[in-house]
Amino acid sequence: MYLGLGIARALVPSLFFFALPPGDTRAPDSRPAQGDQDGDPGEGERATPVVRVVLAARPAVVHIRTTRTVERTIADWGWFPRGRTMEEADHLEGSGVVIDPMGYIVTNEHVVRGAARIVVRFDRQDDPREHSATAVGVDRENDLALLKIDGPQPFHAVRLGRSDDLLIGETVVAIGNALGEGLNAHASTVSAGILSAVDRELHLPAEGRSYRGLLQTDAAINPGNSGGPLLNLRGELIGINTAILPQAQGIGFAIPVDRVLDILHRNLFDLDRSTRFWLGMKFEEGEGTTVASVEPGGPAALAGIEAGDRVVGAGGTSVTSTLELSKRLLPRSAGERIQLRLRRGDKEWTASVILGSAANRYLRERLGCSVEPIRARGEGALRVAGLVPKSRAEKVGFKTGDLLLGVGLPPRSGGMTAVATPEDLASLLQGIPPKGVLRVWLARGEEEYFGEVVLR
């Protein structure tokens, strides 16, 4: 739930670094120019407030191009069997903005949904290189995604503003890659207008989406602008452009920056919500890195970490807050080994943690156990790796080491489906509502068991 604008504002100083000092809206390499000797207006006179905003913010704006694999049904080609399907690449383009010098980018979730590959480029005047990006966090409900790119740091980051003090009618600037076509067109486009309204609702039935609390502007927001920044005349980020109304003219919408910051802190930068891995521990609220709890049988517990330990380093770099730790770990993937430096009392020690599958976190929440893939009876199967105390799985008799040979849905007596990975099992459970029943086929030694588990 959205915690309020006041909380989001309080997070701004601690969440991110600022690329430029307050009050300076010029790009680092911009220089005031003089008019020529013929008396023609020089850059000094032509550099309006909007121009200065663009110079300051453009180096932080990116063009995003995603590649997705889609299936298409072929019915009309004479040389291709009628009714067959074939896979082909599909591309989608959008915009984004760097919000942290380490290379973290905010964009819309719909820009990167289903992407097999994400490519990011800055305006060609600022950086001609192509960067491969990783989606480290997504929030479909709020249409936000967090990407990470690697490269020489620091990256130029936008200055963060606030959205609770906006003035209806004040000038706003939208930057993105409107109507961009391919990576050769990675040049920023700019539009300006006024802030038309705040706290607007938008319903898009065709997309199955509804938005609340949006900023409305008449600054042109066209296809390709999605995910780009909406800025005030100080060059500060006040919103993320997210939608246009196809039946309207001159109306665009943006997610207020206060909500963006809240979602980043509460969701996208939360290690316990990572869709890439499972760490298996939670931290106390606040700026510290004290471990509040450790999940039994999870990656952190297997590495010897206990509640009350304090994380002081990750991968050879010191950390002083959970946000810094999140920034270091979020790009990692399940199966990777990370070195965490911890302090317990007066002693410091290093824990070697193998990151678990994010699917196992979901399985522990709904079923009450974590699993690991193995080969059994010549086929892929799952072994119960850990049990949540007093969970549904434990109550029906699951034991650590049991083999899960198959699952099914009642009332069918047969038709058990083999599951070979935690992701396979998690995907199946996502289609079962709370309090739904899962039939299981377990093997323990030479004995086999059939039973039913009521899911959370």
Residue 73 confidence class, pLDDT cut points 50, 70, 90: low
The class of domain 160-260 in CATH terms is: mainly beta
Cα separation of 359 and 326, whole Å?
A: 19
Tell me which CATH code domain 359-454 carries: 2.30.42.10
Q: Shortest CA distance to 404 belongs to which of 388, 416, 392?
A: 416
Please state the rounded mean pLDDT for residues 7-17.
Answer: 42
Contacts of 452 (CB under 8 A, 6+ apart): 396, 410, 437, 438, 439, 440
Task: Give the pLDDT confidence of 413-452 residue by residue, as tens digits.
Answer: 567 888 999 999 999 999 899 999 999 999 999 899 998 9
Q: Known catalytic residue: 203? A: no
Q: Shortest CA distance to 52 belongs to which of 60, 43, 61?
A: 43
Contact 8, 261 (CB under 8 A): yes
- Pairing relation of β-strands 171-176 and 189-204? antiparallel
* pLDDT at residue 33 tops 70: no
Contact 20, 159 (CB under 8 A): yes
Cα separation of 260 and 271, whole Å?
A: 17
* pLDDT at residue 155 tops 90: yes
| Run of H or E residues at 74 | strand 61-74
In the set 110, 131, 186, 265, the catalytic residue is: 110
* pLDDT at residue 83 tops 90: no
Instruction: List Cα–Cα distances, 33 to 51, 53, 238, 312, in angstroms.
Output: 13, 16, 29, 48
In the set 191, 226, 274, 370, the catalytic residue is: 226
Tell me which CATH code domain 271-354 carries: 2.30.42.10
Domain ranges of the chain: 160-260, 271-354, 359-454
Q: Known catalytic residue: 110? A: yes
Cα separation of 240 and 357, whole Å?
A: 31
Cα separation of 306 and 211, whole Å?
A: 41
Q: Shortest CA distance to 55 belongs to which of 63, 64, 46?
A: 46
> What is the pLDDT, as a whole number, of residue 337?
97
The one-letter amino acid code at 122 reads: F
> What is the pLDDT, as a whole number, of residue 437?
92
Question: What pTM did the predictor assign?
Answer: 0.81
In the set 100, 123, 143, 258, the catalytic residue is: 143
Tokens of 183: 């990576």
> What is the pLDDT, as a whole number, of residue 443?
93
* pLDDT at residue 184 tops 80: no
Average pLDDT, rounded, for the chain: 84
| Run of H or E residues at 343 | strand 337-344
Cα separation of 208 and 416, whole Å?
A: 33
Task: Give the pLDDT confidence of 239-260 residue by residue, as tens digits.
Answer: 999 877 666 677 899 999 999 9
**Phi, psi (degrees; rounded to nearest 5) at 348:** -115, 145
Residue found by looking up tokens 């997705």 in the block: 68
Cα separation of 81 and 76, whole Å?
A: 9
Task: Give the pLDDT confidence of 351-374 residue by residue, as tens digits.
Answer: 999 999 999 999 999 999 999 999
The answer to whether domain 160-260 and domain 359-454 are alike in fold is no
Q: Known catalytic residue: 131? A: no
Residue 179 confidence class, pLDDT cut points 50, 70, 90: low
